[in-house]
Chains A and B, each alone.
Chain A
Amino acid sequence: MSYNFNLLFLPCLHILYVMRRSFWFILFMWWGSSFSQDTIIQQKPFSSNILSFKNPSTSIAFSGYYRFLGFVRNQKETFPNNAGKTVAISSGDAFREPMLLFKLNGKTKDNITFGADLMINSLYKGPSSIYTRALTLELGLNLTTSFATKYGTFNFKSGGVSWYRQSRLTVWGNRSFNRTSIFERRPQTLLNKLPINRYSNYYNSGLVDQGIRYGNRAFQGIFLQGSKLPLNFSVKGVIGKTNFNRSLLETSDNFTGCFQLKNMLSPNLKVAYNYLSSWADTDSLSDDKRNYFIHSFELVKKWNKIQFEMEIGLGKYSDPNQNLGYGEAILLNIKTAKSTKIPLNVQFYRISPQFVNVTGNFLNTSVLEVFPNVEGIGTTVRTPFQSPIVGLGRPVNNRQGLSINADASLGRLKLNGGVGIYAEIDTSYAALSYIHNVNSQTLSRLNIFAQNWGPYNALNSTYRGVFENVNISDSTASGFANFKKFYNTIEFQAKYNNKIFGKNYYIFSLTRLNSCQKNLKTLPQVSSQALISQLSEEIDFSIELTKKSTFVLSYGVEKILGNNSTDIGDSPEPSATSAFFERLGLKKLFRYTNARNQKNTLFGFGFDYMIGPNAMIFFRHNRYRYFDPNFIENYLKGWETMLELKIKF
C-alpha cells in the first residue's frame, strides 16, 4: 500500500508544488509588468545589474572580397615517390589565401582608426567538423592615429602586419621590371572594371596592381612617421619584428628597427639617411646573438630629362660563429624621362658579401641563418640562397654588375628589354640556383613551401614559385667553388595590340636568357662553357570577346642546360640539347650532354567573365610538362583547371 501511495501520491504532490510555485511566480511577474513604474533610462531605484547607455563612439566600415577557387589537378606523370594519388580536387590552391576576406575598418570620434582583416575559409569537403576552419586573421590588427603640432604632423601606428618601405638597401620589397606572364592570377590581384582592362593596363603601363604588399615588407611593431617638419625634414621609422632573422623561441629577443631621416633640399634634390638594425637571440638562454646593422645614404637628383638615384651603405654582420665585419653596398640608377624617344635605365650595383640584409631589395646569399626556421614562417620566405641566377632589377649581395634597359614603341608594337652583366665579388658555395620561369606556380603547388624536394632533392618551393639548386663539382675542400661566377642576362618583351572584328586583342611575348659561367662574357652563353643556361619564351594572347568577357591563351617553354661541372644525370646515354636540331642534323646548333637538359612547357587557355560590377569569374586550364632526359626521374606531366569567382565588396 505504501508503495502505491509513494508511486501515485508523491508525483501528484510534486506537481501541485510546482503548480503552486508557478502560480505565484506568474502572478508576481504579471504584477510586476503591469503595475510597476515606467523605467527611467538613466535612473533606477535598485538593480543588481550594470546600467547601459547608448554611446556610439566608433564608426565601422567593412570591405573585402569573396573568392572561391575551384582547383583540379590531374597528374599523368609523377615523381617516383608519388603514393598513387594523381588527382587533386580542392577548394583553393593550398596557399594560405582568404576565401572571404572581411576587412573591418573603424574610426573613433577622436579620429583614431583601427582595422582587422578577418579571414574566413571553408574547405568544402563535407559537413564533418574536422573540415571546419577556425576564423583567423589574414594579416593582423592595426591602430593608427595622427596628431598635428607646430613642429609637424606625426602619424603613429601600432600593431601589424603593416607594409613598410624605406630604402632599397634597408627595407624594400622585391620589385623589378614587371616582365612576366599574366596568364595566372594571384588572389591579391585587384578586379578591373572590365575584364579586358587587365591586359590593356599591362600593355599600357606594364604593371598589374598586386595590392599594397607589392614593393613593401611586412612588419609588426610601432611605426612613427613625421612629416612637414622644420627645414623640410621628414622622418619615419619602425621598431618591431619582421618574418626574418628570428629566434627559435618566440619569447627570445628578435627585433628589427629602422628609421629614415629625409630632407628635401630643393624640389629636385632629396637626401636621406637610413639606419637599420636587426638582432635575434640564437640560444634559449639569450647569451648569443645574431645581428646586423646598416647605415645608408640616399641621394635623388632630377634634371630636366634625367633622374639620378644613388644609395650607398655600410653594413656589418656577426653571429656566434662568424663575424663578417664591415661591408659596403652601392645602388646607382640613372633614368631618362619616359617622354624621351627611347627611355633608358642604367643600373649599377655592388653589394659586398658582408652587407647582409633580408628586408632590402636584394637577395642575401652570404648568411643562411637569417632566414628563419620557425614553423609557419621560415619556409615561406626562404629565397634562392646559393648563387641565384636572377632577372634584371634584382640585386644580390656578393655581386656587382651593370644593366641597361630600354623602351621603344613602333606604332602599336611596344618593345622593352635589357641586358645585364654581373660578377661575384668573392667566391661562394659550389652551387647555383635558378628560378623557373615556366610552370613555376604549377610546381610550387605540388609541394607547398617545401625545401629540397623532388627525386633529386633540388626543388624548393616559395610563395607561388619554385627554384632549383645545382651542385658544382669544381670546388674546394670547404665546399666553395674554385672560381668566381659570372652572370649574363637578357630580357626582351614585345607587346602588341590591335583589333580584329572590332575587338581588342593583345599579344605579349617575353624572352629571357640567363647564364652563369666561370668567365666574364658580354652576352648570355648557351654553350658547354656555361655552368647553367636558362632560356624561356612565354607568349600570352588575350582577346575581348564581348565587353564582359575575354578569352586568353598562354604558351611557355623553358630550356635549362647544364655543363659537366654541374650535376650529372642518371641516364646512361647523353641526350641532345635540342631534339629539333638533332633531327635536322645541324650539329653546330646542339650538343650532347649528361648534365641538366630540362624542358618545361606550358599551354593554357582561359576566360575572364564579368558577372556584374565587382564580380568576375576566371577560368584557367593549363597543361604542363617538366622533363629532363638525363635525370630520368625528373618527369612531370598533367593538367590543372581553376575556376575563380571573385566578388568584391
Chain B
Amino acid sequence: MKRRIQLLLVFFAILSSEYNLQAQMNDNIWFDGLYRSYFTRDALNNSTTDDTLSPRNTSNGYNLLDLNTHINPIKDIEIFAQLRIRNSFGSFFGSASGTQINVRQLKARGVINNKFRFSVGDLFLKQSKFTLYNYDEELSGFENDMFKPYRDIIHYENFYIENRWRLQGIQTDFSYEFDRFIRSLSFDLFVTRPSGSTQINETTYSSDLLLSGGSMVSEINKRLIVSLNYVNLFEVPSSGTNNISVRNPVYDLSILHHLSKDKYRIENKIQTGFSKRFWLHSELANGELDTISNHTKGLFFELDNKFIKGDSSLLLTFGYRYVDPNFRSAGAQTRRLDYASGNINTTYPIYTNMSLIRPPSAFDLVSDDQLYNQDLSSVLMVFNPIYSNILPFGDATPNRTGIYLKAKINNEKNLFISKINSGFFKEVIGQGASEKRNFVLIKGFFKINFHSWLNWKKELSVSTSSESEFTKRDGEAVSSLNLFSHQMNTSVNAELTKNLFIQASYKLFNANGNEFLTQRDDYGNITYFASTEIDQKDHILSLGMLYKFRKNAYATLNYNWWGTEFTNQPNLDYKYNRLILILSVEL
C-alpha cells in the first residue's frame, strides 16, 4: 500500500508537470538520473571436474532507468523522487517477473526564510568518524580502474555516497556568524528511523528503531574549529510489543587547529568522546521500575596530524588512536559487508557435487552488490578476518590502540602517483586470552603514467598495489595466533584510439595462519571463540575494453577468470569465468 501511494505520488507529480516538451522548458521541474545496461555470463571453468550438478553457464542481465525528478514548486523548496524502472534481460512485453517499477527515493528539502535548511525523507547523513560514518568496505582501498564499474554499482545500489548512511527522517541545519569572540556557530539536528515497527506474527510487533543526533560546530578563529557531535540509536518500546529496547548514545568532541602558509598547510586534530550502550527493560509487570542490562561504556581518543604541501604533491598524515574495547557506536561501527548467515553469493551460490555453500572470494566482494548491507546494527556485525582483521569496523574498531601513517606523493608533471598507508596497532585488552593481539598494516600503491613520460596524447599507465595485514598473538599454544593476509593488484590501461581503452588487471589475494572467530549473542556479548585455520588464495584475472562515450557515459566489456584455492581446508577449490558488459550513462 505504501509503495502504491509512493508510486501514485510520483506519477501525480510527473503527470501534473505537463506532459509535453514544456517539462524541460519549465524551470520548476528538472531531471537527471542514471541508465544502465548490465549483462553477465558466468561459466564453470573448464578445469572444474568435481561439479557436474551446476549449470555449465548462466546468464543474467537487466536494463534500468533511475529517473530523478526534481520539482521546485516554490523557490528554495525541492521535492525529489527517484523512480526506478528495471527490466530483466529476456523478459518480453513487460512480463510480471521481469519488470519492476519502484520509488527508490522520495524526499523534500528546502530553506525556510533563507536561513533554516531542512530535509525530509531520504537523507544521506554523516557526522564524525566515531558517531555516524559509513566506512569503506574491504579490498576497496587501492583498487585498480578495471573494477571501478563493479564498485560503482555496489555503491550505487547500496546508496553508499561519500561514507554516508542512507536514513529516512528529518534533518535541519542553520548557522550564525559573529563579529567578536567566535567567528561562526553551526547547528545540525536530525531524527531518523533506520527501521520501522513491523508485524512479526499475529500478536508480536517489533519496535521502531530511531537514530537521532545533533552537531554544534564553531569556528573560534581562523585557525581553530571546535565540534561537538551527539548521536543516539534507540528503540521506542511502546511502538512494538517488546519491552526491551536498546539505547546507544555517543558523544564526540573534536578540536581542529590548522596553520596555512604559502607552501604548506598543517592540520592538528584532537578528537575524543565516549559511548554508552544498554538495553532498557521498561513497562514491567507489577509497576516495577525500569531496569537496564548489558550496560557498556567506552571512550575513544585520536590525535591526527596532517601536512599538506601547497602544490598538493605531498600529503602526510600521522596520528595516534585509542578505542576502548567497550566503545559501541552503531552509526560508525555498522559494516557494509554483511557476513551474516543466510547471506550467500549470487553467482554460483552452491558448488561441487556435494552441493556445498560456496564461501565468498575476493571476486564476490568486488562484484556482488547483494552481499552488502544498508541497515544500522546495534551490535557488532560478523566480519571475516581473512579480508579485514585489523580495522574491520574502520577507525571506530573497538579494542585497538596504536599509531598510523599515511602518505600520498604526486609528481609535478603527473608522471607517477604513490600512496602509503600503514598502521601499528594492538588490542587494549586480550580477547579470550590474557595476551593481546598485535597488528601491522602496510599498504602501498604506485602508478606510472607512461604517456606523460613519453609525451603521448593517448593514455598508457601501469599501476600496482600491495596490501598486507599481520596479526599475531603470543602466549600458550592453544591461544596463540598468527594470521597473514596479502593482496596484490596490477593493472594496465592503454588507450588504443580516442576514448577506447584496453585494460588488463590481476588481483591476487592470499591469507594463511590461524585466528579465532568471535561469536556473540543478541546483545553483542562474546559467547565463544571458534578456532579457525586459514590458507586460501583468491585470484582475479581480467582482460577487457572500455569505451568512454562522454563524461559519465561508458561501456565496458570484460572477461574475468577468478577462483579460490584452499590448502588443507574443508572447502574445495573453485574456478569460474565471467563475461560482463556494462553500459552506464549518468543522465
- Residues on A lying within 8 angstroms of B by beta carbon are 29, 32-39, 44-50, 52, 54-63, 96, 104, 106, 108, 110, 112, 114, 116, 118-120, 129, 132, 134-143, 145, 147, 156, 158-161, 218, 220-222, 240-241, 243, 246, 249-254, 281, 284-287, 375-377, 380, 649
Complex Cα distance, B114 from A132, in Å, reads 43
Known A-B contacts A147-B549, A286-B57; the reply to A48 vs B35 at CB < 8 A is: no
Residues of A within 8 A of B1 (CB): 129
The 8 Å CB contact of A286, one of B37, B56, B111, is: B56
13 CB contacts below 8 A, A to B, read A32-B115, A37-B175, A45-B217, A57-B586, A108-B587, A112-B553, A139-B94, A143-B583, A158-B63, A161-B93, A243-B92, A281-B55, A285-B53
Residues of B within 8 A of A140 (CB): 63, 87, 94, 99
Q: Is the CB of B186 within 8 A of A160?
A: no
Q: Is the CB of A250 within 8 A of B63?
A: no
Kindly provide the distance from the CB of A460 to the nearest chain B CB, expressed in whole angstroms.
19
- Which residues 208-248 of B sit at the A interface, judged by CB distance below 8 A? 213, 215, 217, 219, 227
Residue of A nearest to B32 (CB): A57
Residue of A nearest to B173 (CB): A47
Kindly provide the distance from the CB of A379 to the nearest chain B CB, expressed in whole angstroms.
12
Given contacts A48-B127, A50-B162, A58-B33, 12 further A-B contacts (CB under 8 A): A32-B116, A46-B188, A49-B119, A49-B124, A50-B161, A59-B23, A112-B549, A156-B555, A220-B90, A253-B41, A285-B53, A376-B97
Residues of A within 8 A of B33 (CB): 58
Pick the 10 closest A-B CB pairs, nearest first: A59-B24, A56-B30, A36-B174, A45-B186, A62-B19, A376-B95, A286-B56, A46-B217, A251-B58, A46-B186
Residues of A within 8 A of B96 (CB): 134, 136, 376
Residue of B nearest to A33 (CB): B116
- Which residues 53-99 of B sit at the A interface, judged by CB distance below 8 A? 53-60, 63-65, 67, 70, 72, 78, 80, 85, 87-97, 99
Complex Cα distance, B31 from A147, in Å, reads 24
Residues of B within 8 A of A44 (CB): 117, 173, 175, 186
Known A-B contacts A37-B175, A46-B188; the reply to A56 vs B101 at CB < 8 A is: no
Complex Cα distance, B24 from A59, in Å, reads 5
Q: Is the CB of A48 within 8 A of B188?
A: yes
Residue of A nearest to B498 (CB): A149
B112 at the interface (CB under 8 A from A): yes
Complex Cα distance, B4 from A204, in Å, reads 48
B379 at the interface (CB under 8 A from A): no
Residue of A nearest to B97 (CB): A376
- Residues on B lying within 8 angstroms of A by beta carbon are 1, 4, 7, 11, 14, 19-21, 23-24, 30-33, 35, 37, 41, 52-60, 63-65, 67, 70, 72, 78, 80, 85, 87-97, 99, 101, 109, 111-117, 119, 123-127, 132, 161-162, 164, 171-177, 184, 186-188, 190, 213, 215, 217, 219, 227, 549-551, 553, 555, 581, 583, 585-587
Complex Cα distance, B358 from A321, in Å, reads 35
Residues of B within 8 A of A218 (CB): 92-93
Q: Is the CB of B117 within 8 A of A137?
A: no
Q: Is the CB of A47 within 8 A of B188?
A: yes
Q: Is the CB of B21 within 8 A of A49?
A: no
Residue of A nearest to B37 (CB): A158
Complex Cα distance, B175 from A49, in Å, reads 14
Kindly provide the distance from the CB of B122 to the nearest chain A CB, expressed in whole angstroms.
10
Q: Is the CB of A114 within 8 A of B57?
A: no
Q: Is the CB of B65 within 8 A of A116?
A: yes
Complex Cα distance, B186 from A45, in Å, reads 6
Q: Is the CB of B67 within 8 A of A104?
A: yes
Residues of A within 8 A of B585 (CB): 108, 112, 114, 143, 145
Residues of B within 8 A of A29 (CB): 116
Q: Is the CB of A132 within 8 A of B4?
A: yes
Complex Cα distance, B24 from A118, in Å, reads 19
Q: Is the CB of A62 within 8 A of B20?
A: yes
Q: Is the CB of A56 within 8 A of B31?
A: yes
Kindly provide the distance from the CB of A156 to the nearest chain B CB, expressed in whole angstroms.
8
Q: Is the CB of A46 within 8 A of B215?
A: yes
Residues of A within 8 A of B32 (CB): 55-58
Complex Cα distance, B188 from A271, in Å, reads 70
Complex Cα distance, B115 from A140, in Å, reads 44
Residue of A nearest to B85 (CB): A116
Q: Is the CB of B87 within 8 A of A114?
A: no
Residue of A nearest to B125 (CB): A48
Kindly provide the distance from the CB of B55 to the nearest chain A CB, expressed in whole angstroms.
5
Known A-B contacts A46-B215, A54-B30; the reply to A141 vs B173 at CB < 8 A is: no
Residues of B within 8 A of A286 (CB): 55-58
Q: Which residue, of A32, A46, A240, has the highest number of chain B Cβ atoms within 10 A?
A: A46
Residues of A within 8 A of B188 (CB): 46-49
Q: Is the CB of A106 within 8 A of B56?
A: no
Kindly provide the distance from the CB of B85 to the nearest chain A CB, expressed in whole angstroms.
5
Q: Is the CB of B87 within 8 A of A138?
A: no
Q: Is the CB of B173 within 8 A of A252?
A: no
Q: Is the CB of A60 within 8 A of B31?
A: yes
Residue of B nearest to A103 (CB): B19
The 8 Å CB contact of B57, one of A52, A60, A63, A253, is: A253
Q: Is the CB of A141 within 8 A of B65?
A: yes
Complex Cα distance, B189 from A47, in Å, reads 9
Complex Cα distance, B126 from A49, in Å, reads 7
Q: Is the CB of A141 within 8 A of B87?
A: yes
Kindly provide the distance from the CB of B384 to the nearest chain A CB, expressed in whole angstroms.
28
The 8 Å CB contact of A159, one of B87, B116, B172, is: B87
Residues of B within 8 A of A136 (CB): 94, 96, 99, 101
Q: Is the CB of B64 within 8 A of A141?
A: yes
Complex Cα distance, B91 from A246, in Å, reads 11
Q: Is the CB of A145 within 8 A of B101?
A: no
Kindly provide the distance from the CB of A569 to the nearest chain B CB, expressed in whole angstroms.
38
Residues of B within 8 A of A57 (CB): 31-32, 586-587
Q: Is the CB of A49 within 8 A of B173?
A: yes
Residues of A within 8 A of B21 (CB): 59, 61
Complex Cα distance, B59 from A286, in Å, reads 11
Residue of B nearest to A59 (CB): B24
Residues of B within 8 A of A132 (CB): 4
Q: Is the CB of B219 within 8 A of A45?
A: yes
Residue of A nearest to B24 (CB): A59
Known A-B contacts A61-B21, A61-B23, A143-B35; the reply to A39 vs B117 at CB < 8 A is: yes
Complex Cα distance, B125 from A47, in Å, reads 9
Residues of B within 8 A of A138 (CB): 93-94
Complex Cα distance, B97 from A135, in Å, reads 13
Q: Is the CB of B176 within 8 A of A377?
A: no
Residues of A within 8 A of B553 (CB): 110, 112, 145
Residue of A nearest to B57 (CB): A286
Complex Cα distance, B88 from A646, in Å, reads 30
Residue of B nearest to A254 (CB): B90
Kindly provide the distance from the CB of A444 to the nearest chain B CB, expressed in whole angstroms.
17
Residue of B nearest to A62 (CB): B19
Known A-B contacts A32-B187, A143-B583, A251-B60; the reply to A48 vs B173 at CB < 8 A is: yes
Complex Cα distance, B85 from A106, in Å, reads 14
Residue of A nearest to B552 (CB): A110
Q: Is the CB of B52 within 8 A of A110?
A: no
Kindly provide the distance from the CB of A388 to the nearest chain B CB, expressed in whole angstroms.
23
Q: Is the CB of A159 within 8 A of B63?
A: yes
Complex Cα distance, B55 from A287, in Å, reads 8
Residue of B nearest to A285 (CB): B55
Residue of A nearest to B92 (CB): A243
Residues of A within 8 A of B54 (CB): 285
Kindly provide the distance from the CB of B251 to the nearest chain A CB, expressed in whole angstroms.
16
Q: Which residue, of A33, A141, A145, has the highest number of chain B Cβ atoms within 10 A?
A: A141
Residue of A nearest to B585 (CB): A112
Q: Which residue, of B14, B72, B89, B219, has the highest number of chain A Cβ atoms within 10 A?
A: B89
Residues of B within 8 A of A119 (CB): 94
Kindly provide the distance from the CB of A231 to the nearest chain B CB, expressed in whole angstroms.
20
Residues of B within 8 A of A161 (CB): 92-93
Complex Cα distance, B166 from A49, in Å, reads 10
Q: Which residue, of A60, A156, A160, A251, has the highest number of chain B Cβ atoms within 10 A?
A: A60
Complex Cα distance, B98 from A161, in Å, reads 12
